[in-house]
């Protein structure tokens, strides 16, 4: 027993014509090959939530590669098989991509003809997935176009804003789902339900996150950071004690949480003011600086390797720690002194230092960053060369001039008196 809804009208209202036409076409190709054809997953979820999402995942009850090849021939588009997973991708000329998979099941027989209600295969495929809200399928074959199959009361979970796994071992089977649950919860303002929360907590306590490879976890964290409100998700990770299972030497205390809050606050401030091109800021590095700032030195190597961080990652963190300590120790710091401390820093180091300087220094620090962005020397390396400066001398002279300018000891026109 399961719910079926005809949503073809809703699709017509909400989807762009191009997408509608594509779905109809892909369904028709499925019918020609006598395969039940569905669009599934995130696309369906977001369609019902009335959110834009045109990542089309097609599932066929049949051979996905046979289907993919056929569609590619008919439309003269590019077909890329991923044989290992029995899936393929189809690329349109403009780069638009559609993924195709075979409905996965233990034993499978291709139906000779399209039976009227043969749904067990797609049902098994959907049952293996992460959360109920991601397990709806829309049939797109001509005869049944727009038939929403809801096997697991997904539609009602969407309406009640619930994140729910379908079976008890879901998180154990794939612990990255722990982070996905939190991501979806924050993205949609949903809530992980009690039962699912119990499973989640037990999986965390059972040290299953430790079994996942670093790159897979890192990828999930990156995805969280790309969401509009990552702070809430990270707090939730703290609440579920996930952080300690990702970084064994990190205790997610209220003090640490304050730093995480400051990260996002300061990031917003600095985005508009500082000499920072925020699109070049690796948010993941920044978050890791915060979360790993108290990790003892002898464990850093292991963490650096696990998450594939650059070799000099912790050296850079260390430099930034020293920088904010120096800044906080001193009463007043001239712009030229700031320059000496910060001139070799990358964006993440600059932001991290800004988070960690004491409150009474924050304004001074931001002012410096603005100032250094504004100042353009009148003198160029070429000018100095003409005057007989060589190699290092040039660099040193330019720095000297910059410091004089930063402290407003000279005007642009006075630069020439110093060379
Ligand atoms: N999936 C899963 N377990 C995972 C990852 C994915 O079961 N660890 C399933 C989900 O049902 C999901 C589908 O695979 O709907 C596709 O995954 P993905 O593209 O990562 O997710 P979307 O739901 O499309 O989410 P997003 O909007 O973030 O792209």
Same domain, 84 and 193: no
* Model pLDDT, residue 117: 36
| C-alpha dist (Å) from residue 344 to 207, 232, 263, 325 | 40, 33, 21, 17
Question: What's the CA gap between 58 and 388, in Å, rounded?
Answer: 68
Query: Residue whose CA is closest, atom 29 of ligand 1?
Result: 42
Same domain, 207 and 294: no
Q: Strands (DSSP E) along 219-327, which ranges? A: none
Residue 29 has φ and ψ, to the nearest 5°, of -60, -40
Whether residue 141 lies inside any domain: the answer is yes
| C-alpha dist (Å) from residue 246 to 212, 226, 237, 299 | 10, 19, 10, 13
Choose one of 179, 214, 246: the last residue of a domain: 246
Compute the residue count for the chain: 419
Choose one of 115, 136, 160: the last residue of a domain: 160
Ligand 1 contacts CB of residue 42 (under 6 A)? yes
CA 126 to ligand 1: nearest atom: 11
CATH of the domain at 237: 1.10.110.30
Contact 330, 267 (CB under 8 A): no
Same domain, 237 and 322: no
Whether residue 372 lies inside any domain: the answer is no
Contact 162, 185 (CB under 8 A): no
Question: What's the CA gap between 158 and 275, in Å, rounded?
Answer: 43
Contact 406, 369 (CB under 8 A): no
> Which pair of tokens denotes residue 321?
């720690």
Contact 164, 157 (CB under 8 A): yes
Question: What's the CA gap between 183 and 199, in Å, rounded?
Answer: 17
Whether residue 128 lies inside any domain: the answer is yes
Ligand 1 contacts CB of residue 86 (under 6 A)? no
Ligand 1 contacts CB of residue 316 (under 6 A)? no
**Domain assignment of residue 36, given as a range:** 3-160
Whether residue 270 lies inside any domain: the answer is yes
Ligand 1 contacts CB of residue 41 (under 6 A)? yes
Ligand 1 contacts CB of residue 177 (under 6 A)? yes
Choose one of 104, 130, 160: the last residue of a domain: 160
CA 46 to ligand 1: nearest atom: 27
Among 168, 188, 185, 126, smallest CA distance to 151 is for: 126
Residue 102 has φ and ψ, to the nearest 5°, of -85, 135
What is the side-by-side strand order in the sheet with 3-6? 3-6, 147-150, 137-139, 37-40, 56-60, 97-102, 87-91, 78-82
Question: What's the CA gap between 208 and 328, in Å, rounded?
Answer: 41
Residue with tokens 């306590």, as numbered in its chain: 205
Same domain, 147 and 9: yes
Q: How far is the CA of 235 from the centre of ligand 1 (A)?
A: 22
Q: How far is the CA of 41 from the centre of ligand 1 (A)?
A: 7
pTM of the entire structure? 0.90
- Spell out the per-residue pLDDT of the chain, length 419, in tens: 899 999 999 999 999 999 999 999 999 999 999 999 999 999 999 999 999 999 999 999 999 999 999 999 999 999 999 988 889 999 999 999 999 999 976 443 444 444 433 446 899 999 999 999 999 999 999 999 999 999 999 999 999 999 999 999 999 999 999 999 999 999 999 999 999 999 999 999 999 999 999 999 999 999 999 999 999 999 999 999 999 999 999 999 999 999 999 999 888 877 766 556 666 789 999 999 999 999 998 899 999 999 999 999 999 999 999 999 999 999 889 999 999 999 999 889 999 999 999 999 999 998 998 888 888 899 999 999 999 999 999 999 999 999 999 999 999 999 999 88
Contact 36, 26 (CB under 8 A): no
| C-alpha dist (Å) from residue 243 to 264, 288, 292, 333, 357 | 17, 11, 10, 36, 24
Q: How far is the CA of 325 from the centre of ligand 1 (A)?
A: 43
What phi-psi label fits residue 76: left (phi over 0), alpha (psi between -120 and 50 degrees) or beta? Answer: left
If one counts the domains in the chain, the total is 4
CATH of the domain at 113: 3.30.460.10
The DSSP string of 2-25 is -EEEE-HHHHHHHS-HHHHHHHHH
Complex ipTM, two decimals?
A: 0.95
pLDDT tens-digit series, residues 270-304: 776 655 666 678 999 999 999 999 999 889 999 99
Same domain, 25 and 155: yes
CA 43 to ligand 1: nearest atom: 24
Same domain, 90 and 183: no
Question: What's the CA gap between 291 and 224, in Å, rounded?
Answer: 15
Q: 340-343 long-range contacts, Cβ below 8 Å, gap at least 24?
A: 340/403, 342/368, 343/399
Same domain, 155 and 175: no
Instruction: Classify burial at 279, counting beta carbons within 10 Å of its beta carbon; exposed 0-12, middle 13-18, buried 19 or more.
Output: exposed
Same domain, 165 and 155: no
Whether residue 179 lies inside any domain: the answer is yes
CATH of the domain at 355: 1.20.58.1960
Same domain, 96 and 231: no
| C-alpha dist (Å) from residue 365 to 262, 277, 354 | 15, 17, 7
* Model pLDDT, residue 104: 76
Ligand 1 contacts CB of residue 173 (under 6 A)? no
Among 264, 193, 184, smallest CA distance to 224 is for: 184
Same domain, 302 and 349: yes
Ligand 1 contacts CB of residue 61 (under 6 A)? no
Whether residue 298 lies inside any domain: the answer is yes
Same domain, 156 and 9: yes
Among 138, 39, 28, 35, smallest CA distance to 75 is for: 28
Whether residue 335 lies inside any domain: the answer is no
Same domain, 402 and 287: no
Whether residue 334 lies inside any domain: the answer is no
The number of beta carbons lying within 10 Å of the beta carbon of residue 41 is 24
Query: Residue whose CA is closest, atom 6 of ligand 1?
Result: 130
* Model pLDDT, residue 274: 53
């Amino acid at each position: 027993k399961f719910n079926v809804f005809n949503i073809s009208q809703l699709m017509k209202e909400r989807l762009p014509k191009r997408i509608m036409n594509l779905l109809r076409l892909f369904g028709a190709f499925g019918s020609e090959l006598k395969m039940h054809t569905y669009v599934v997953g995130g696309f369906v979820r977001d369609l019902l939530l009335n959110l834009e999402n045109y990542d089309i995942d097609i599932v066929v009850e049949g051979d996905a590669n046979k289907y993919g090849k056929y569609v590619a021939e008919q439309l003269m588009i590019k077909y890329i098989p991923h044989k290992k997973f029995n899936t393929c991708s189809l690329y349109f000329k403009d780069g638009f991509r559609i993924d195709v998979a075979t409905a996965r099941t233990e034993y499978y027989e291709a139906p000779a003809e399209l039976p009227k209600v043969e749904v067990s295969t797609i049902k098994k495929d959907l049952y293996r997935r992460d959360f109920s809200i991601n397990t709806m399928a829309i049939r797109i074959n001509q005869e049944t176009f727009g038939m929403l199959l809801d096997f697991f009361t997904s539609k009602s979970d969407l309406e009640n804003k619930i994140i729910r796994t379908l079976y008890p071992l879901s998180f154990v089977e794939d612990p990255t789902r722990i982070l996905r649950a939190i991501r979806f919860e924050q993205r949609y303002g949903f809530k992980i339900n009690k039962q699912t929360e119990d499973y989640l907590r037990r999986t965390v306590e059972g040290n299953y996150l430790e079994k996942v490879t670093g790159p897979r976890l890192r990828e999930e964290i990156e995805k969280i950071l790309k969401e509009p409100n990552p702070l809430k998700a990270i707090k939730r990770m703290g609440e579920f004690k996930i952080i300690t299972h990702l970084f064994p030497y990190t205790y997610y205390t209220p003090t640490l949480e304050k730093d995480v809050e400051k990260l996002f606050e300061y990031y917003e401030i600095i985005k508009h003011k500082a000499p920072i091109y925020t699109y070049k800021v690796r948010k993941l590095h920044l978050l890791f600086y915060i979360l790993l700032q108290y990790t003892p030195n002898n464990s850093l190597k292991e963490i650096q390797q696990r998450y594939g961080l650059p070799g000099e990652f912790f050296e850079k963190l260390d430099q930034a720690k020293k920088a904010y300590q120096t800044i906080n120790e001193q009463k007043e710091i001239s712009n030229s002194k700031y320059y000496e401390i910060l001139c070799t820093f990358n964006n993440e180091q600059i932001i991290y230092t800004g988070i960690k300087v004491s409150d009474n220094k924050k304004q001074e620090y931001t002012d410096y960053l603005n100032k250094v962005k504004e100042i353009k020397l009148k003198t160029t390396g070429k000018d100095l060369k003409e005057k007989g400066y060589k190699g290092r001398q040039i660099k040193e002279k330019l720095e000297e001039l910059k410091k004089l300018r930063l402290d407003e000891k000279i005007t642009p026109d006075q630069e020439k008196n110093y060379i």
